[in-house]
Structure 1
Amino acid sequence: MAEKCILFMARTTRFHEFARTLTQSLGVEVSLATPDSPNAAHDFDLLMLDGDGIRNDRIDQIAKWLEDRGGIPMLVIVDDETLPSLRLPAHSRSDFICSSANPVELEARARRLMGDDDSFNLDDILHIDNLVINLATYQVYLDDEPVDLTLMEYSLLSFLATHPNRAYSREVLLHRVWGFEYCGGTRTVDVHIRRIRSKVGPQIAAHITTVRGVGYLFKD
């Protein structure tokens, strides 16, 4: 099989060595480009994008450019502190990885996006009434239309939906969804629940139950 190529697109060199670990682990070629001059790139099988300083609308533009090139997948490297504001384009083959991840996780995510494993299956698709949650691609659809969730909204919704009929306190949700290092208050959970309910419509919002004195529960 011909050697595959990964295009690493970044404004700085901070993750060049991180990206180049795939040369050894996957046996691929890693080429470099910048977000402002992508058209100089030759054929490639995966775009890795350092999301530092890249706005969501620019990520959308890059995703459309990849779609025009035959639907090339995209892996976005995002800093932990900017993760809550990241939005991956709907209907694109995209994934994200935190900048604190190790090369083993990078290899696994790149391999899956390039179709070199069998990790995607029907168990990755969760149907709840008229809502579909794709656990493999981090995408949510309501009546076949994409729902514009931030990654933290998605993470909270998918956690509750995959752990139904059990009440979770706000503190536990902060630890399980945001991570043990998160320093924000429990009001963050309430804000995200309110935003999720407003985006998924009343039918799905009715599944997300407030448990007085405890937190939240997702009814299946």
Structure 2
Amino acid sequence: MRELSRALDISVLLAKPETFEQAISSGHEFDLVVLDLAGVAPELLSRVDTYVTDNSGIPRLLVLDEEQLGSLRMPVQGRSDFVLANGCEGEYEVRMSQLLWPGEETVPSDFVTIDNMTINLATYQVTIDGEPVDLTLMEYSLLSFLATHPSRAYSREALLHRVWGFEYCGGTRTVDVHIRRVRSKVGPQIASHIVTVRGVGYLFKL
């Protein structure tokens, strides 16, 4: 949030469940509520709903882990969106911008273009020569992370942490499997940017 506050030129007030009441009674007027759903009690969710409703339907961005997607129920009232907890900073920036400034959703920063590939961070879509590429969520997340963090080698362990968001029980081989699948789907031109760094991991070369 501190990094995003500088990128978006906004002020951020961080609050924990036990300090939520203090935050909303601080006298500040909020334009967006970002709520991390990890371990949030139903009582707090209800309190957030009440606060949002009582204040003209403040937009909400819900942050959740991938395993929570199946049980996700988006709020019926007001504008809301969600983002995975292990999403890159660029994705958070796009999602927050959409909610803060509706009508200006598609901005240049939504897109990462490299050679014949375009990644739309706002819609989680990848195209090659204008044609959509059928990627799984984790394949997309891995590709978008590497492409938005170029020219730096990441170990398999670091990629598991940054992309999967946890220590994957199957071990680091899953990174190699996903890299292989991504390379095969994006074609040789983009695959050549995804470089194997011997003894380290992978690097996206521009």
Given the two structures, how large is their TM-score scaled by the length of structure 1? 0.53
Q: Rate the CA distance shift 1:201–1:79 in 2: closer, same or farther, 3 A.
A: same
Out of 130, 145, 149, which is 1:159 matched to?
A: 145
Q: Describe the superposition over 1:25-82 as per-residue Cα deviations: whole angstroms up to 9, x where unpaired.
A: 2634xxxxxxxxxxxxxxxxxxxxxxxxxxxxxxxxxxxxxxxxxxxxxx99976237
Q: CA deviation at 1:183?
A: 3.5
Partners of 1:141 and 1:23 in 2: how far apart? 41
Match of 2:109 in 1: 123
Task: Confirm or deny that 1:149 pairs with 2:146.
Answer: no
Q: Rate the CA distance shift 1:117–1:218 in 2: closer, same or farther, 3 A.
A: same
Q: Rate the CA distance shift 1:139–1:193 in 2: closer, same or farther, 3 A.
A: same
> Which runs of 5 or more structure 2 residues have no equivalent in the other structure?
1-41, 70-80, 86-93
Q: Rate the CA distance shift 1:96–1:192 in 2: closer, same or farther, 3 A.
A: farther
Q: CA deviation at 1:182?
A: 3.8
Give the conservation status (yes or no) of the 8 Å contact 1:169–1:216: yes
Give the conservation status (yes or no) of the 8 Å contact 2:63–2:84: yes
User: Match of 2:150, as an amino acid?
Assistant: P
Describe how 1:8-19 pairs up with structure 2 within 5 A.
18=45
SS in 2 for 1:166: coil
Report the count of equivalent residues.
146
Describe how 1:1-220 pairs up with structure 2 within 5 A.
18=45, 21=48, 24-25=51-52, 27-28=56-57, 80-81=66-67, 96-98=82-84, 109=95, 112=98, 116=102, 118=104, 120-220=106-206
* Percent identity (aligned): 66
Partners of 1:214 and 1:158 in 2: how far apart? 20
Q: Describe the superposition over 1:97-119 as per-residue Cα deviations: whole angstroms up to 9, x where unpaired.
A: 459xxxxxxxx959826963756
Give the conservation status (yes or no) of the 8 Å contact 1:111–1:117: no
Match of 1:44 in 2: none
Match of 1:38 in 2: none
Report the RMSD for the aligned CA atoms in angstroms: 3.8
